[in-house]
Structure 1
């Protein structure tokens, strides 16, 4: 297998320009999923990918979705040599990515047309591709497609059975993905999912994201008097929803930064010491994470570094607050109502439904009799972690280490990537999140970029991973 793989890597090195041109062609399609004016562009991007997969010998097509808006099609592809069957003992992988992109606003901040990709040097002299979707997620998707192309070109076959699922709504909610997976469970099931929508911790260290935080997002509105009140005429005597809401929010953390809800930390565990030591080497102090946003000291739960607070500890945050007079000047008013948008980030082992119920009960207990509360849920999802019993995890880590010349690490992610948990829920299989983005890729922002080195080494990494999984 090693000799076969080396021939494929040589092919990748010798065909860089052609691979780059294909990525550029996909980046020129403005597949903004959340804007109705780009509905046809999303379908055009999906069709472009279907043709690429068909050219590589995949049985590929568009699958319509209609459970929720906006309804952009899924791209599904299977290696024709393995449609409906997998060779005896051969591993089968499902690759997931998304072809839709974020809106481009504020457009005035782009230095070049966001859908006319170009190559330029960043401040460090590194060559980068600049375009909307360059990093999130078209560049990442194309690393895997180009790895498959190289294997097919050199050997006519892939070392493992490969299926594709490319989504068109990841940037607009992705509500159709889970029902699609459930409706097509038998077709989509494989041994493991490979997800390329994550980042490396630095320029040189490859990583597999093995844990994600889930979320509970709640909007809380308190209503007291039937109208806004004069703070002189009613101050002290009338319940003030804005003040009560501030008290409630303050009560959710203690002086050590721990969340005070009963049973909140049930099921929470720490990574092993080897993993935590790897994180300390990557982020030796809090400023290594926070410095780029103008901060230096972790503000959350005491006893944990900034990276641990985001990667492996649950959190509570205030995302928005509204109540009383908001315009210029001053108005002496007691607002009749006040609201806040609040979120909990959860780690694997926590129950999002139970935490939401506990939070609501905590709020109700704290309110005076003549203050009413309304809750609006904005989602609840569990944290995700890759099983340490996974046979694919050590193989993929070893392949990444070989390509980058540095030991690959297992990282966490403070955010949520719903597809990982949805694949487990619908298909009953693990997901390996392997990506080659960088922290300064400006995803979702003007002048999004993706390094030529990320693209090229990403292709080579997938070549090695496919070979490693075949062993």
Structure 2
């Protein structure tokens, strides 16, 4: 095993699960490991405490005649549950068929460490970097980065930069350079429906008392028209239409045709808003999704009860120029309007993040494309991302800086799922990409 892979294995072994308080010390230990690694490379480092998990900052010696590049990543990971579905323990990395299997392998430790090792390699080969570098690594991305925006506001001058680079997104196909220039935003909510004071016998009281589980099902059904269009009033009012050049380019992107979506997802058929391809739906159209739903008896066999309460968890993916708080209020109004009689509704609005888009044809965008071309064969693909990195728009709002999204994840990386994986080939390419990127951005 190469020294680079050994370091990645060490990094992946930290169960740095940000959402679980039982792992608070593991998250801190992971941050301290990063500090030790970055200090050992000759960078000046800072560990900043927050009300949650720490933020790690590292810099080289800055020169006023060089461009300043901020590289962002996150060292926290999703919970590993359900553990029974992992083929190997999630925090005991293993290589199978050229892929590294572990929680965080792709999201985001593998991609993030590739940048670190690219910087280290350049320092060893040339003694200095072609740009001023700021590394900003946080431990709360998987819980919505609640403390990063205040940190940016407080340290705005110290974090001033010309461009930001992030590898926490996907590439459209193996060995295909991919530049992301947009991200969908997100807005979450949880709905609780309550009815009787306790579970009731469904024979004695069914038909006389409203059933909260039925009410939740009716509410969920009200969110969409039969063709998949979101039925919330005003949901599409601010949606920025697709440009003609985007539709033309995306039609040529490998790995994202409708049949590819079927193969990757294992779904029996595709479904969604009419008159858009699957790629267009996931990259540039908003959605309303059910993430969890429940109520009543969940055990084996029957238990004939009318449940006292039921719930549904929702997330809405948003596109430019939708404002999350505006959309959440429209969702709340819709849910309250369509709540069936005989039950009480409680809508709890959750975390949100703005959508993001920049010009991929800017000078920095062109530099990123040259770096991708130097790393991967063929012309780079320009895409928007279906996922959300809420802090990217905060970078734009607070630091006034665009972000280049240089994804190394493949569609079958199983991010947030059991058996998350990262190809060794992509990890090694990420190291080379960082070296090429800093050279190109310096020009």
TM-score for both structures, normalised by structure 1: 0.84
Match of 1:463 among 421, 435, 442: 435
Report deviation, 1:291.
1.9
Q: 1:73 aligns with which of 54, 72, 75?
A: 54
Q: Supply the distance in 1 between the matched residues of 2:257 and 2:103 (Cα, whole angstroms).
A: 32
What is the rounded CA distance, in whole Å, between the counterparts of 1:424 and 1:273 in structure 2? 25
Contact 1:212/1:384 (<8 A) preserved: yes
Matched, 1:92 2:68: yes
Q: Does 1:378 align with 2:350?
A: yes
Which of 45, 52, 66 is matched with 2:37 structurally?
A: 52
Which residue of structure 1 aligns with residue 245 of structure 2? 274
Stretch of structure 1 that moved more, 427-436 or 109-118: 109-118
Q: Give the structure 2 partner of residue 11 of structure 1.
A: none
SS in 2 for 1:429: coil
Q: Distance in 1 between matches of 2:82 and 2:232?
A: 40
Cα contact 2:144–2:390 (8 A) shared by 1: no
Q: Secondary structure at the match of 1:203?
A: coil
Please say if residues 218 and 342 of structure 1, whose CA atoms lie closer than 8 Å, have aligned partners that are also in contact.
yes
Q: Could you say which residue in structure 2 is the equivalent of 1:156?
A: 127
- Whose Rg is larger? 1
Matches of 2:83 and 2:291, distance apart in 1: 25
Residue matched to 1:247: 218
| Paired residues of 1:298 and 1:305 also in contact (CA < 8 A) | no
User: Does the Cα contact within 8 Å between 1:297 and 1:306 map onto a contact in 2?
Assistant: no
SS in 1 for 2:39: helix
**Cα distance, 1:326–1:184 mapped onto 2, change above 3 Å:** same
Correspondence for 1:400 among 372, 378, 386: 372
Give the drift of 1:193.
1.4
User: 1:369-400: per-residue Cα shift (whole Å, max 9, x none)?
Assistant: 75432111122322121245643112101220
1:52-81 per-residue CA deviation (whole Å, 9 max, x = no partner) reads 322333111211112xxxx3321111112x
1:421: how far off? 2.0
In structure 2, how many angstroms separate the alpha carbons of the residues matched to 1:161 and 1:217? Answer: 37
Shift in alpha-carbon separation, 1:34–1:409, aligned structure 2, 3 A: same
Q: How does 1:30-429 map to 2 (within 5 A)?
A: 30-66=15-51, 71-80=52-61, 82=62, 86-88=63-65, 90-107=66-83, 109-112=85-88, 114-120=90-96, 122=97, 127-224=98-195, 238-281=209-252, 282-283=254-255, 285-330=257-302, 334-335=306-307, 337-367=309-339, 371-388=343-360, 390-429=362-401
| Structure 1 position 24 matched with structure 2 position 3 | no
Question: Which SS does the other structure have where 2:116 is aligned?
Answer: helix
Counting matched residue pairs gives 442
**Distance 1:147-1:368 versus aligned 2 partners, 3 A rule:** closer
- In the alignment, structure 2 segments of 5+ residues that lack a partner are none
Q: Distance in 1 between matches of 2:23 and 2:85?
A: 21
Task: Tell me by how many angstroms 1:35 deviates.
Answer: 4.4
Unaligned ranges ≥5, structure 1: 1-15
Q: 1:204 to 1:44 in 2, by over 3 A?
A: same
Structure-2 change in CA distance of 1:333 and 1:18 (3 Å) = closer
Shift of 1:313: 0.8
Compared CA separation, residues 296 and 390, structure 1 to 2 (3 A): farther
**Residues 202 and 351 of structure 1: CA distance in aligned 2, closer, same or farther (over 3 Å):** same
Deviation beyond 6 Å, 4+ runs, structure 1: none
- Distance verdict in 2 for CA 1:243–1:428, change over 3 Å: same
Paired residue secondary structure (2:317): strand
Deviation for aligned residue 1:142: 1.8
Computed over aligned residues only, the root mean square deviation of the Cα atoms, in angstroms, reads: 2.8
Change (3 A) 1:432 1:329: same
* Contact kept in structure 1, 2:353 and 2:389, CA below 8 Å: no
